[in-house]
A and B are shown apart, each in its own frame.
Chain A
Amino acid sequence: MSDPTVAQDLIHGGDEPTGAVTVTSTGRPRSLWRDTWDILRHRKIFWVSLVMLIAFLLMAAFPSLFTHKDPNYATLAHSMEPPSSDALFGYDLQGRDVFARTIYGARASIIVGVAATLLTVLLGGITGVLAAFYARWLDAIISRVGEIFLGVPYVLGGIIILGTIAPAQTSPNEFTIMAVVILVLAILGWPILMRIARSAVIQAKHQDYVQAARALGAGPFRIIFKHLLPNSLAPILVYSTITIGSYIGAEATFSLLGIGLRPPVISWGIAIADHTRYIRTGAHAMFFPAAFLSLCVLTFVMLGEAVRDALDPKLR
């Protein structure tokens, strides 16, 4: 319900018995989101990133659309063979098809990136809204705790937490290790989102319409969900889109250090980590996953920038 477009449908939709509501003279009402869409529509960067995003999402959801090869099928005889017509991206150290592994790698990376971002938004959003709305001691506590987490460098924090829960030599199952990595990313990343949500809500809180809503009998629940959240959504949305990209990169960093995702999970980070030592003899085994990783991060960052440009009137 916090999405204003839903609210708009509320009014538009519903079987209007008289059918009398025809908005012909004034045209369709223009909301912030409609304006945003109109701006996005005319931006090349938006369409480019959208097409790339769809490609990556398809890869993650239906990898078999792109390759019929088994990413885990290894023939050591092909070890480190360069790209050929037989294997588009060549073979890796274990003689597995690099193209197949790169395609299958999208799933883990994107799941980690998106899920960690969602969790970050949830954690940071809730704490930020609570801090801003109730202010005083709750705000002080949440803000100080956030600062403590913010003070821990990302990689260092990851090494400490992941190294304790899932040390480098262990091999937890696929689900566990992904959940742990997602959790670590969110725990280290929530304070930034908390601050963004907090400042957006503080700004919205002092608007007259919140006072007016109170004066007309709205309770705290409705003020938060109908007034504060919908009006604070834009900066949260922008930041989280960009965060997906940076989390995908962070996941790869942890994998490279041997403390993030690990086999049997297939991910770009693992592929890069496995082949850094062979960069001079067979760069292809590292290059292609790395290129896909960069492109994927770029996609989300570009999308985030396009959305930010469209949502922020000051940049127009």
Chain B
Amino acid sequence: MVEVLSEPVGGGSYEGSLLEVDDLHVEFRTRAGVAKAVNGVTYSVGAGETLAVLGESGSGKSVTAQTIMGILDMPPGKITGGEIRFRGVDLLKLPEDQRRKIRGEGISMVFQDALSALNPVFPVGWQIAEMFRVHRGASRSDAKKKAIELMDRVRIPAAKDRVNDFPHQFSGGMRQRIMIAMAIALDPEILIADEPTTALDVTVQAQIMGLLADLQRERNMGLILITHDLGVVADVADKIAVMYGGRIVENAPVHDLYRSPAHPYSKGLLESIPRVDMKGQELYAIKGLPPNLLEMPSGCAFHPRCPYRRDNCVTDVPPLYPISGTRGSACHYWREVLDDGSR
């Protein structure tokens, strides 16, 4: 419906994935010390592909997303290494005005809490229309018409009657739809959704995930879905990257991971999902707390909580061992974990 970037950054001839995060390091300099939030994260997303980034609070998944978008607060944040390539061009080396052109049109983002992510003093239709007016130079009436179309597209009932309503007049799910409409307004090639359903009811969560999946197929976008909820990603994602302590501990095609996790942390996450056939039994929980980013455990960051721990886990940082062409696990004993299967 809207023309794609007239001149794509880096040209269209690039052969790798659309977006590649390569060995990214981000730290926060605080008074208490240096918090290493992201320690060498590598992942990639192609057109039409959905990557789910999974991890608990403080695992660095959101910080990675903010770094991709270039909206990380610096200071206290600081990118200490790595590359983020979009169409083969390292975004971190681009000047700010060129990066701004990529935001919204090349890579766009949906935030967790749509109420606070929408400007309270402007009607929602105006906020969507502004995207067209500012970036596409559309006239007011054209932009408004497109805003209504988009609101229809994200399935807001009676969109025509509601364009002039303010964010606080919408329910949580509807607000998230508006946020999504704004994010896809300029036909981005990559959409990052940072916990898009965390603030919503379970029934609404399913609707929003369905909507995101539909839009992604329809527009052949690359979708990065950041979440801590394994339940919401199973049907939508193609591949999963599990993060722990600012590192990717396992990446795998989604069904492989569900069938047989290769990292004790992924295994723990899977086992802590409530299941109907386990009714009456105590629900499994990963013992201990997420690592303190100021004092990361030595060796494997997961070792204090790991049931598979041996002596070398405390001293040696496990690299991401390749399991197959599409899988990797950062565990010295991934074979054992894999053989145990899930539950």
Cβ of B122 within 8 Å of any chain A Cβ, yes or no, is: yes
Given contacts A23-B161, A217-B104, contact A230 B121 (CB under 8 A): yes
Interface bits B106-126 vs A (CB < 8 Å: 1, else 0): 001101010011111111011
Smallest CB-CB separation from A212: which chain B residue? Answer: B117
Residues of B within 8 A of A227 (CB): 119
Residues of A within 8 A of B105 (CB): 217
Interface bits A9-53 vs B (CB < 8 Å: 1, else 0): 011101111001111111001111000000000000000000000
The CA of A15 and the CA of B144, in the complex, are separated in Å by 12
Cβ of A213 within 8 Å of any chain B Cβ, yes or no, is: yes
Interface residues of B in 123-143 (CB under 8 A from A): 123, 125-126, 129-131, 134-135, 140-141
Find out whether the CB atom of B126 lies under 8 angstroms from the CB atom of A212: no
Name the one of B103, B144, B163 contacting A216, with C-beta atoms under 8 angstroms: B103
Interface size on B, residues (CB 8 A): 46
Residues of A within 8 A of B100 (CB): 217-219
Find out whether the CB atom of A26 lies under 8 angstroms from the CB atom of B161: yes
Find out whether the CB atom of A230 lies under 8 angstroms from the CB atom of B182: no
Cβ of A7 within 8 Å of any chain B Cβ, yes or no, is: yes
Find out whether the CB atom of B135 lies under 8 angstroms from the CB atom of A217: yes
Find out whether the CB atom of B140 lies under 8 angstroms from the CB atom of A215: no
Find out whether the CB atom of B123 lies under 8 angstroms from the CB atom of A29: yes
Chain A residues touching B, range: 35 or more
| Partner-binding segment picked from B84-92, B164-172, B306-314, B316-324 | B164-172
Given contacts A21-B164, A217-B135, contact A30 B169 (CB under 8 A): yes
Find out whether the CB atom of A31 lies under 8 angstroms from the CB atom of B109: no
Find out whether the CB atom of A212 lies under 8 angstroms from the CB atom of B109: yes
A28 to chain B, nearest CB (A): 8
Name the one of B117, B141, B163, B166 contacting A30, with C-beta atoms under 8 angstroms: B166
Cβ of B186 within 8 Å of any chain A Cβ, yes or no, is: yes
Residues of B within 8 A of A25 (CB): 158, 161
Residues of B within 8 A of A24 (CB): 161
A269 to chain B, nearest CB (A): 39
Q: What would 7 more interface pairs be, CB under 8 Å, given A29-B169, A208-B116? A: A7-B122, A17-B141, A23-B164, A31-B121, A208-B117, A215-B104, A216-B108
| 21 A-B pairs in the complex with CB atoms less than 8 angstroms apart | A7-B122, A7-B123, A11-B164, A21-B164, A22-B161, A26-B165, A29-B169, A30-B169, A211-B71, A212-B118, A214-B69, A214-B103, A215-B69, A215-B104, A216-B131, A216-B185, A217-B101, A219-B100, A226-B130, A231-B119, A231-B121
* List of 3 A-B pairs having minimum Cβ-Cβ separation, nearest first: A217-B104, A217-B103, A208-B116
